[in-house]
Amino acid sequence: MKNATFYILDTETGIDGLNAVETLVCDLAEARWRAGKRVLIACADEAQAIRLDEALWQRPSTAFVPHNLAGEGPKYGAPVELAWPQRRGNAPRDLLISLLPTFADFATAFYEVIDFVPHEESQKQLARDRYKAYRSVGFHLNTATPPPPQTT
């Protein structure tokens, strides 16, 4: 069965210039990569992808995450790939971490999706709409509370 987990954030405060969602994305990408998953992080735009790329490079060596921007890096991509609507790789991935404001049709190609309910009130309705969309295409839905962010 396909699973979608929505992390419910209770703050917008992040670390090192990232917002709370972006900080959590870096931590989740590391944890899932260490668990053997190939991860696609679908960013809202190129600027967000570049920001996350830089944040992942700045992590300490003990928290290194092999990653690349879509279209860069090795032929089949690194284990973690950062993409945005205008550029997406086609290497197979186990997990989608979605930062997109609306439901992504390609999410149905994944058995596991991570999405977010931001603290910001204006973003909550978009998250509710995505939640309904995942349910309508047959995903089993879960909610989770994020662990405290890792400090670098």
Percentage of the chain surpassing pLDDT 70?
A: 93
Residue 12 covered by a domain: yes
Residue 150 covered by a domain: no
Residue 149 covered by a domain: no
**pLDDT tens-place string over residues 82-123:** 999 998 877 789 999 999 999 999 999 999 999 999 888 888
Count of domains for the chain = 1
The domain spanning residue 105 has which CATH number?
3.40.50.10110
DSSP 108-137: GG-SEEEEEE-SSHHHHHHHHHHHHHHHHT
Rounded-to-integer distance, Cα 31 and Cα 146, Å: 12
- Tell me: pLDDT of 20 over 90: no
- Supply the pLDDT for residue 152: 47
- Supply the pLDDT for residue 149: 54
Q: What residues make up the domain containing 53?
A: 3-144
pLDDT band at 5 (very low <50, low <70, confident <90, very high): very high
Residue 108 covered by a domain: yes
Residue 41 covered by a domain: yes
Residue 151 covered by a domain: no
